[in-house]
Amino acid sequence: MKKNRLLLLITILLLSLNATGAKKQIIINSNNLGCNDTVIIHTPTGYNGESLPALFLLHGWSGNWKNWSDKADLQQISDKFGFIIITPDGFYNSWYVNSVVPQGMQWRSFFNDELYPLIHKEYNLDPDKTFITGLSMGGHGAINLFLDDITRFRAAGSMSGVLNLEDTRLKSTEMVKVLGPYTPENLNYKNESAINRLDNFTFQANSDKHFRDRVIIVSCGKSDGLLKSSVNFAEKCDSIGLKNILILSPGNHTWNHWVYSLETHLLHFQRLAKGEHLGY
């Protein structure tokens, strides 16, 4: 790419602004991605620039930036909980990681170096009232981004998340386009898995104030093929002293379950943003 190319080119398009709230579309031209990332942001009715709780909401594999808006009434949910809701494009198969494939997307770097700082500045985010969650591939992404720097978020969530990359059938097909061949010699699948990244946090359990204050919400349908991933991850969190709430309910790997789970996660996040306890 040309050296003089702008790192960040932002065009904000106001899609609608009326008594029911605001919906904005932000287009980011990123060197880390090599293309545009489109982000939809919902703000509650009456929002006038004040600092509010915020949720980064990630879609799943084969989805895009419109996925959540198409499947759920995010404006109504933003109004109900008083949250700014940010839905970026994780693209069809990014897995929200830095690709090891030549010319591949560096999605984690995009979020950490571009998207999060931009939203933090433009919406005056308070890290103690900022949250992140996602479904399936997005559950994996949300937890990994949370673990990158736990001072940026009060809590994180996973809905039917692929929290161990070994647990998905896509590891030997689609994921090879991001992490390389699925072979015993390729440690990317192990190192990028959220459950294995918890090993680096064991030492923080008793010494890091932020670690003690943080919590992860893990939810999954009891009939979901990724149930094992959620249960094993919660057990690993317990073993290192990382607070977590595991929510298992009837359901499968479907949008019905994820829309239901989104409000369940927001109920917990809203209490944390208000300084209320979660039963412990």
Domain boundaries, the chain: 8-273
Q: Are 72 and 259 in contact (CB under 8 A)?
A: yes
DSSP-derived secondary structure letter, 123: T
Domain made up of 8-273: CATH architecture: 3-Layer(aba) Sandwich (3.40)
Give the mean pLDDT of 120-135. 98
Residue-level pLDDT at 16: 36
Residues 238, 59: Cα–Cα separation, whole Å: 26
**Cα angle, residue 140 at apex, residues 137 and 141 outer, rounded to 5°:** 90
Task: Report whether pLDDT(9) > 90.
Answer: no
Please state, for a pLDDT cut of 70, what percent of the chain lies above it.
90
Are 223 and 217 within 8 A, CB to CB? no
Predicted pLDDT of residue 210: 77
Contact (Cβ atoms closer than 8 angstroms) between residue 165 and residue 191? no
pLDDT of residue 22: 87
Could you tell me which residue, 201 or 262, shows the higher pLDDT? 262
The residues facing 216 across adjacent strands are 156, 244
pLDDT confidence bin for 122, thresholds 50/70/90: very high
Q: Tell me how far apart the alpha carbons of residues 37 and 57 are, in angstroms, rounded to a whole number.
A: 14
Question: What average pLDDT does this structure show over 19-43?
Answer: 90
Q: Give me the pLDDT at residue 206, please.
A: 56
Q: What is the pLDDT of residues 228-241, one digit of tens each?
A: 999 999 999 999 98
Contacts with 139 (C-beta within 8 Å, 6 or more apart), sequence order: 58, 60, 133, 157, 158, 159, 160, 161, 162, 163
At residue 115 the predicted structure's pLDDT band, cuts being 50, 70 and 90, is very high
Each residue's pLDDT tens digit, 82-108: 999 999 999 999 999 999 999 999 999
Rounded CA separation 105/13 (Å):
25
Q: How many residues does the chain have?
A: 280
Residues 265, 278 contacting (CB under 8 angstroms): no
| pLDDT, tens digit, 9 for 90 and up, residues 176-215 | 999 999 999 999 999 999 999 998 876 565 567 778 889 9
Rounded CA-CA distance 169/148 in Å is 26
Confidence (pLDDT) at 207: 61
Whole-angstrom Cα Rg for the chain: 18
The whole-number pLDDT of residue 7 equals: 39
